[in-house]
Structure 1
Amino acid sequence: MTVPAMRAAVVAIRAGLFDDVTDDVLAHENRAFGPAVPSSAGQPDRSHVPWMRASVGRAVLVVAGHAGAGASTVALALAEELAEGRRVQLVDYSEPVRSGLPAAPTIELGTDRAGWRCGRRGRLDVVRLARRPADGALPPLPEADADATVVVDLGWSTTCALLDSPGLLVGCALVVVTRVTVPAVRQTEQVLAAVGAEAAVAAVGRARWPRLVEASCGPRLREVRSTGQVVPVPFDQRLQIAGLTGDRLPKSVAAAGRALAELVMPAAPPRHRRRAARTGRAETTR
Structure 2
Amino acid sequence: MKIGNYVKWLNYYGQPHPYYSVNMDEFYYNAEIEYITEIIKNKLYFASTHGDETKVLKASAGTLYFTTDEELIYVNYYYDFGPLNLSCLYKFCCQLNTYLCNPSVRRIVYYSSGISPKRIHQILTIAGGSFRKIFNEKNLSLFTPKKDRCDLCIEYEKRNLHEDKWKEHVEDKNRSRDERSKDKDRASKGECILLCMDLQAVKVAPTLNAAKIYFKTNLGCHNVTVYNITSRQATCFCFSEVDTGLSASTFASCAVDYLERHCLFKKLPIVHFV
Max radius of gyration: which structure? 2
TM-score (norm 1): 0.22
Higher RCO structure, 1 or 2 (CA under 8 Å, sep 6+): 1
TM-score (norm 2): 0.23
